[in-house]
Every structure is written in structure tokens, then in C-alpha cells.
Structure 1
Amino acid sequence: MDGRQRKLNRSLQQNLNRWILSAVLVFSLLAGGISGWIAFNEAREWQDSLLQQVGALVATQSGDRNLPADFDPEDTLVLQRLGEKSVNSLPLATDLGDGLHTLEVQGTGWRVLVYGGHFAVSQQTEVRDEVAWDSSLRTFLPILLLAPILMAVVSFAVNRSFMPVRALASVVDRRDENRLDALPDKRVPQELQPFINSLNRLLARLRQAIAQQQRFVADAAHELRTPVTAISLLTENLANATTLAESRERLAPVQEGLERMRTLVTHLLDLARVQGENQAALQPVDFQQIVQAAIGESYPLAEAKSLDLGMLRNEPATLLDVASNLSILVRNALENAIRYTPAGGQVDVSLFVENGQAVLLVEDSGCGIPEAELQQVFEPFYRVGVSTEPGNGLGLAISQEIAKRLGGNITLSNRPQGGLVFGYRQPTSLSFTVLLR
């Protein structure tokens, strides 16, 4: 595993250098070898052509050609008539046909050209090979000597090509945790441009998320400070009570303040928990049972305001859920509907399956929400300006976060006859499994 990890973490620059330099070396050797082989054969062919030219020249001349006394067969062509006997002539057979022959005479290799059936021009093969190898080396050595220079140039080019990457890494290293502005994209290689663009989009999302978290912390501190201050004043007032009846009277507002603080802290913890959950733990649940249980829990609140709470449609549905988030979502929808519906009003719940999605509708006969604020109400701590009901503005924010985690969608719309319709849609567990495939 460690070896595989080291292989995956190998430097891209070193990898490029290794492959390019290896390719340069292999192809240089291959090119040099092929060029040397071609030069070797061309040199031998040229020497054969020289033999032919000398033979033709000798055949056109009359009389015998006597070789000089200082004849050296290693440096000189041997010219002779076939069958002649002399000190410098070679013992060649008289029946050799016209053309080139490679013979071994007295233990020495010779290249012999017979011309016109009478003349022979001979040259030692060792001399010929020396000339050919010399020509081959002259062709091969320059390529071999240029290969290291080419490898050095390639290595320099690769290193220089990675300079923008190192410069960009240096820019990022010099930044502190408070700098999340976009990375510079000037003088960046085209191959890195998509990566830089992706990083800049990620930084933009981080800036937005951090700004949202900062606003959330500030709003939470403000929301907590208000009930804490109120409770502090109420407890001081309670301490100044002189009779038991007066103490009980002043204790009631303290209890109400503590309940509001408990609700606020619970909602804050719910929102923090939902934002940090992992979708890997999703499990199928009976959404119909969850909705029925939430309605049962909300009956006392509805009865206290003389509201007509009931279900118009009640169909079975199985959804994916984690940590009872769907229960929180349904309870928040019902609590908001009951809270903002005046006494004697009506709250209707519908649950059905449509186009592979479970649909939950909670309709109330309250005051509704101004059209301009239908999207803003999903922000934490945002409260509708026309509302006089107590609350902390976290219910819809928590529900929206739950919907994102579960792949659902929340919609809010005003009823023509007055009131609000809370709609939640989420693919059933079977449809969600198909989508994942």
C-alpha cells in the first residue's frame, strides 16, 4: 500500500523528465545505430563501385600493368590478369566469372572484381571494413554526443515550464486563513486554467459559506442575548417580591423566558447537527407513520387555539432519512401553520405519491407571507415583518437544510383565499435508488 501511495504521489515534473529523457536517449541510440548501419553499407557499396570503375579503366588500357615495388596490399588495390604468376599477384582461379566476389585467399579475406574475364581488381575486406566502420562512427558519434545536450535542453524546458506552478504555490503559501479572494489566472498555462477556475469557484463558495456562518453566529448571539437579558431583569424583579403570591406571579414570565431560550438552543443545535450530518447513514423510513405521529403531537397546540387539524389525503410512502430529520421537518411545518393561523382557523395536511415523489402539503388559513419575502424566510433568524407571533426564525432554515441533505425540495406559496401552503417533495426510496444507479 505504501509503495502504491508513493507511486501515486510521484512528482509530475520528475515523471515527465524521466519519460522524455528516456525517450530521447532510446531514440538517439536507435537513430545513431540506424544511421551508422546505413553509412557502413553505403561505404561498402561505394568501395564496390570504386572497384568497378578501376576495373573498367584497366580493361580499356592496352598492355600489362606492373605494380610498384613498394606495393602494400593493405593500402592499395591489387590489379592483375587472371592466371598470371607474379610476386604481387593473388592466386586467383582462372574460371571466376565476371562480377564481384568475396574470397578468402591464404587466410585473408578479399573483395575481388573480375572484369571481361581477364582482369581482376582486388582489395582486402579488412581494409574495406575499416573504411566502412570509420564512416559509420563519423555518422553515429555526432548523434550520440548531441543526445546529452538534447536531454539537458529538454530537462531545462520541463523545469522552466513548471515555474508558473511553483510561483502559484508560493502565492497560495503566503496567504493567511483570512484571504479567500480568487487566485490570479494571468500567466498561467492553459492546462492549469481549468484547475485554477475550479479552485476560484471553491474559494467563492467558501467565502459565501464563511460569511453565512459569521452572520449566523452574530444573529445567534443577538437572539440569545435578548432572552438572557430579559430573564436577568425578570429574576431581579422576582428577587424583590415580598409575598409568595407576588413571587409566583413574577415567576411565570421567568419560566416563559426560559422556555423560549430552551427552544432557541434546541433549534440551534438541530441546525448545527443537520449541517454536519453525513448522507452515508441514510435509511428507509415510513413517511406516513412520521406524518401521523407529528400530527398527533401537534393536536394539543391546535386544540388550544380551537383549530381544525386534519388530513385530506393519507397515502403510504417510504423515504430515505437520517437521525429523524423528517420528523423535525414535519413538526416545524405543523408548528408554523398552527402558530400563524388565528383561533378557529383550519390546518389541512395531505400526503400522497406523485411521479415517483412523496408529496407533503400543509395548508393553513393564516395571514400568509408577502410574495417578496417567500425566499427570505429560509434564512436563519429571518422573521416576516407582519408577524406578531413569538418565534426565532430558525424553523424554515432547519427544514431547508434537511431538504438539501435528503435530496428534497421545499416550496412556499400563498393561497388565493388566504393562508400559506407548505410543500415538501422528496423521491421515494425506490426512486432514489434508481437515481443513484
Structure 2
Amino acid sequence: MSKTWCERINPVVRDMPPSGIRRFFDMVAETKGVISLGVGEPDFVTPWHIREACIYSLEKGYTMYTSNSGLLELRYAIARDLADTYGVFYDPRSEILVTVGVSQALDLALRALVCPGDEVLIPEPSYVSYAPTVILAGGKVVPLPTGMEQGFCLSAHQVEAAITPRTKLLLLCYPNNPTGAVLDRKTLLEIAEVAAAHDLIVISDEIYDRLTYVGQHTCVASLPGMKERTVLLNGFSKSYAMTGWRVGYACGHGDFIAAMTKIHQYTMLCAPITAQMAALEALKNGRSGMERMVREYNRRRNVVLHAFRDMGLPCFEPKGAFYAFPEIRVTGLTSEEFAETLLQEEKVAVVPGNAFGPSGEGFVRCSYAASLEDLGEALRRMARLVRRRGVRPRVISTPPRPFPAREAGVSAAGGASS
């Protein structure tokens, strides 16, 4: 008797649940007039000089493959940027790999390093792709739950307590998606000591590093003794508003990068040359535009944080990235119930916190990478729902905070003005 098509599918893939974010946004797509605070994507258009560099490269005939490792000039620019910013030095020829977004860099790192049954420690709530990518690489996910009472920050004690003889990797993402938490240098040094003592490899996803508003970002690879045991992941999507360009990179020990490149050359071959040319321009001349966007995100962050607290929802202060993670338990609804009710009754889309693991239950993720007009209207609608659920707003002595239409230097479309 022949097998069904479902039976022919790899059981690891067959049994894997679909992304909680994707499932929810299938519902959003069927609802008209929705204001979305769900997608983790800048509302800014890629700055013109970066787009122009791409156009110019096409006019000059740059339509061919690059080296598997990526354009050498781009790798040199990445190395200079990391050295100037964090004082960590990588050899562009052997320790840097340009990838198709940070997602591919993560996949390559896990497939190159994880053996069947190896345990990977992941702080939770965590980005939705982390656990499935570990499973697809043959590893076992060991979640490290964090909560609002600890600022959603991982501790060295948690890491130490979770280590077993099968533990091989610690996967970090700070500034964090979905919480906006940032680990300070002292905590990272303590975690680094544990990693060294137990010979762990650290994969550090630092895609939101430049979007740090409180304190300073600490690059894990810059800590004493950590460069040799860290695979540093980063890219251009968030800081330079280049999500659709799909350019990321991985930096690490030459043996790690060589193993990742071996997989890359048989699967993806190379990142698109036009996107790499645009990324090169971003590193050369994109700092001022990036800083304007970061200032605007910070202004929105403050508006959103105070609005949640004023409407009666406890909210941890996000110190980085562009997400707020308010607690919605006071409404009596679960994360999914709140998100679905908000979508159906007020036409505002947020992401249920449990999409990021069990530790996210009781919260929702709200992206403030949206215009102040949309944020203001979405927050007003959310406040209506919260009031209907019997939550008393916080008594404030000052008038409600206004939501200005836009700031000078930001265009109507949300992109940075030239």
C-alpha cells in the first residue's frame, strides 16, 4: 500500500508547527482597515543614496556572481565597522561570510556546529525562528525563561544551571526581539565566564545593536576571550531599513566560517551582488541616516511606553530594538485572545506573546516601527478595548500626550528625507 503524501514528508518538518506570527497574520490579511503593529520591519524607505548605489551598480553591469564569501570590499568594510565600533578585529578574507540575511547566517551556523542531540540554550521569549532552526539542524532546544520582574534579562546563574554534558551552544539576541531587553556589560561578562568554563560556543545575533536607546550595546565577541568562541551575526535590515535587500553576515573563528561557507556554497552560493553593493554604500555613507531613524524610533518608544502604562497595562521599558512588550493579563484574556479580540473589534494587529515561547504568555508584542499617526490611532483603539475589559487607566495629572503627525526630517511615507 502506497504512503500518503503527508507520510512521505520528513517527520521533523511535518510535525513542526507553523510560525505563530505567520498564522496570525493570515488572519490580518483577511481584515480590512487594519493598523499593524505586528511586523518587525522599519517603516522607513531605504535611504536614497543606498538605492542609488544599487541602480548605479546595475548600470555598470554588476550582475554576476560574487565570491561565495561575498564581495571582498564589503567584507573589508564590515571588518572596519566592527573594529571602529567595538574594537573587535576580523580578517576579511577568512573570518567574515556575507549571507542572504541574518536568517541564513543563523541557519548556516547551526547546521555547521550542531550534531544530532546537541543541546542549544535559548533565552525566552525568543524570536520565532530560533527554536525551529535548531530542530532542523538536529539539535535540542533548552529554553531559559525570563520575565518582566528580571527585565527579561538572562543571568549567568540560569545558564550555569541549565548546562548538561550535551550542551554545546548558547544562542543570544540582545537587544532582544520581542522584549526590547538589553544585557549590560557586567551581566555579559558573567555569562562569558560560564561559557568559557564549560567550553560553550556562543551565537550572538546582534541585528538590533545600533538600535540601543538606554546604555550602550556590548558586542559579545569584544569581551575578553570571547572572539574565538563566538559566532557574531549581524546585517543591514533593521539599522539601515534594508529588510528586503536580504544582506547579513557572520563573523567568527576561521574554522567556523569555513564550515559555514561550505554549506553556503552548495545551497545559496552567494548573496545578490546588487544588494551587496547597496550594503557597501550603507557602511560607507549611511551613518547619519541611520542615526536619524534611531532618534525617531526613540521618540516613538517613549510615546508607546507611556501610553501603555497610562491605559493600565504594565510595560517593561524596552531599551533597544523597536518593540514594546506590554503585559495584558489584567484584561483577563490570554495573549491570543487579546490579539484576536483587538483585531476583530478595533482592527489593530499585534503579535501574541506566546508566539515567542511559553514565557511570552500574558504579553503581546507591539512594533513601534510605524508612523506616529498610526501609533496614536492604534493606541487609542487599544485603550478602548482595555477599558471595555474593566481596566482602570492610570490617573495622570497632565493632559494626554499628543501624537504629532510627523517630525521635520521624516517624510510623509515614513522614510528619512534627503
> TM-score category by the smaller chain?
under 0.3
Q: Counting strand residues as a fraction of each chain, which structure ranks higher?
A: 1
Structure 2-normalised TM-score? 0.20
Which has the larger helix fraction?
1
The TM-score with structure 1 as length reference comes to: 0.19
